[in-house]
Amino acid sequence: MRNIAILGSTGSIGTQTLDIVREHKEIKITALAAGSNIELLEKQIREFHPKIVCVYHENMAMKLREKVKDLTITIVSGMDGLISCATEGEAEMVVTAMVGMIGIRPTIEAIKAGKDIALANKETLVTAGHIIMPLVKEYNVALLPVDSEHSAIFQALQGEAHKSMKHILLTASGGPFRGRKLSELQNIRKEDALKHPNWSMGQKITIDSATMVNKGLEVMEARWLFDLEIDKIQVVVHPQSIIHSMVEYIDGSVIAQMGIPDMRLPIQYALFYPERIDLIGGKQLDFTTLKQITFEEPDMDTFFGLALAYEAGRNGGSMPTVYNAANEWAVARFLENKIGFLAIPTIIKEAMKNHKRIENPSLIDILNVENETYDFVKEYAESEFKYKP
């Protein structure tokens, strides 16, 4: 029996994790958490019988309590509620599948409670990697990547020594606007940006993929997960999304992990690591029909959000938090049709320019920098992009 808690159970990663759990009766769900989707949470509660559930917004938590009053279950809310779900006694592993920096504190508390982490929530490591990684060591827990690229790198590293690693080659599909120039991105609408060629994901990460900020976040995530300098992590555009990333070793060997784009594969690998098991309903890669796999250099002038991620990563300290918070704010406003597509990387750039970097930010510093960044970018967008709250 393996007991797991899922934070973000109603999202793209959360529901795909539950698809796997449904096929494996040896996994027991101890806790679930989401933002506000209580209709789906109720269904998940009745199917998977967790002991405790968090709905971040208390008014929605009250409604959920009413809906499931026939069951013996604890419904909690807010950050304290998320932390209760992350630290609940029976869970051995916590799947962090929430979107955004809200994942930092629950992840830290889960590690301190001795839980292994299956990490999808990349914003956590981007902003607080310098706090999380030492804690993982101190509490001797496993941190297993769920992001497909990082799972691929992790798989390519099995049995290898860290000192043999020369480069990480992080693949990127290039998103729906690959090949376009800046002038052609001027009038991109939300509907166009939400069409990812290869992956079906939550809205925020889909926009991040269209701006290539997602790849930038992944470069910074990889820097912490695999303890490699940022400039040894190279982005390679590979539109077919068959190679999920590669590791180049000092002898010149390159080990890649390949597969059909299906997030259930990296999720399942994290849940059952080090065992490999049949992926029920998973498709096989067919090399007889796979016509070509191609590679390109990323266009960092057009997708300058990616170039800014390298800059933020090289700067380190509190700069990745500014990068991430500015992006979270801008993507949310783009999804509300309040700012344009290119405003997203522009806002990140200005926020970074404005910021006075803190060398080794504490958790409190990170949360303060997050709020200061929101204040700055709101004002900036009001004056430059006629943004109205």
Which residues of the chain form contacts with ligand NDP (CB under 6 A)? Answer: 8-14, 33-37, 56, 82, 97-99, 102, 120-123, 147, 199, 201-205, 263
The region of 59-67, 97-105, 143-151, 300-308 touching Mg ion under the rule CB under 5 A is 143-151
372 binds, among ligand NDP, Mg ion, none (CB under 5 to 8 A by kind): none
Q: Which of 339, 10, 75 is nearest to 187 (CA)?
A: 339
CB 7 to Mg ion: min, Å: 18
Q: Give me the 327-356 binding string for Mg ion, x by CB under 5 A, dash otherwise.
A: ------------------------------
Residue 241 vs 346, nearer CB to ligand NDP: 241
- What is the signed CA dihedral for 86, 92, 96, 102, rounded to 10 degrees? 20
Q: How far is the C-alpha of 168 from the C-alpha of 153, rounded, in Å?
A: 8
Q: Residue 213 in contact with residue 306, Cβ under 8 Å?
A: yes
The 3-class SS string of 331-389 reads: HHHHHCCCCCCCHHHHHHHHHHHHCCCCCCCCHHHHHHHHHHHHHHHHHHHHHHCCCCC
Tokens 């902003």 belong to residue: 127
DSSP string, 250-299: TTS-EEEEE--S-THHHHHHHHHTT-----TTPPPP-TTT------B---
102 binds, among ligand NDP, Mg ion, none (CB under 5 to 8 A by kind): ligand NDP
How would you label 45-79 residue by residue, b for 16+ Cβ within 10 Å and e otherwise?
beebebbbbbbbeeebbebbbebbeeeeeebbbee
Residues contacting residue 62 through CB under 8 Å, at least 6 positions apart? none
259 binds, among Mg ion, ligand NDP, none (CB under 5 to 8 A by kind): none
Residue 19: strand, helix, or coil: helix
33 binds, among ligand NDP, Mg ion, none (CB under 5 to 8 A by kind): ligand NDP
CB 146 to ligand NDP: min, Å: 6
Tokens 């290539």 belong to residue: 212
CB 82 to ligand NDP: min, Å: 6
98 binds, among ligand NDP, Mg ion, none (CB under 5 to 8 A by kind): ligand NDP
Query: Residue with CB nearest ligand NDP?
Result: 11
- Count of positions on this chain that bind Mg ion (CB under 5 A): 3
Residue 261 vs 316, nearer CB to Mg ion: 261
Q: How far is CA 92 from the centre of its chain?
A: 21
Going 332 to 333 to 337 to 340, the CA torsion angle's sign is: negative
Read off φ and ψ for residue 207, nearest 5 degrees: -65, -40
CB 149 to ligand NDP: min, Å: 8
Residue 84 vs 380, nearer CB to ligand NDP: 84
Residue 148 exposure: Cα atoms within 13 Å on the Cβ side = 24
CB 386 to Mg ion: min, Å: 33
Residue 199 vs 374, nearer CB to ligand NDP: 199
CB 53 to Mg ion: min, Å: 28
8 binds, among Mg ion, ligand NDP, none (CB under 5 to 8 A by kind): ligand NDP
CB 274 to ligand NDP: min, Å: 21
Residue 79 vs 290, nearer CB to ligand NDP: 79
CB 275 to ligand NDP: min, Å: 22
Residue 38 vs 380, nearer CB to ligand NDP: 38
Residue 123 vs 147, nearer CB to Mg ion: 147
Strand order in the sheet with 233-237: 233-237, 165-172, 243-249, 254-258
Going 199 to 136 to 312 to 204, the CA torsion angle's sign is: positive
Residue 14 vs 216, nearer CB to ligand NDP: 14
Residue 204 vs 355, nearer CB to ligand NDP: 204
CB 164 to ligand NDP: min, Å: 27
Q: How far is the C-alpha of 270 from the C-alpha of 92, rounded, in Å?
A: 13
Q: Which 144-203 residues touch Mg ion, going by CB under 5 A?
A: 147-149
257 beta partners = 245
Residue 235 vs 380, nearer CB to ligand NDP: 235
- Per CB under 5 A, residues contacting Mg ion are 147-149
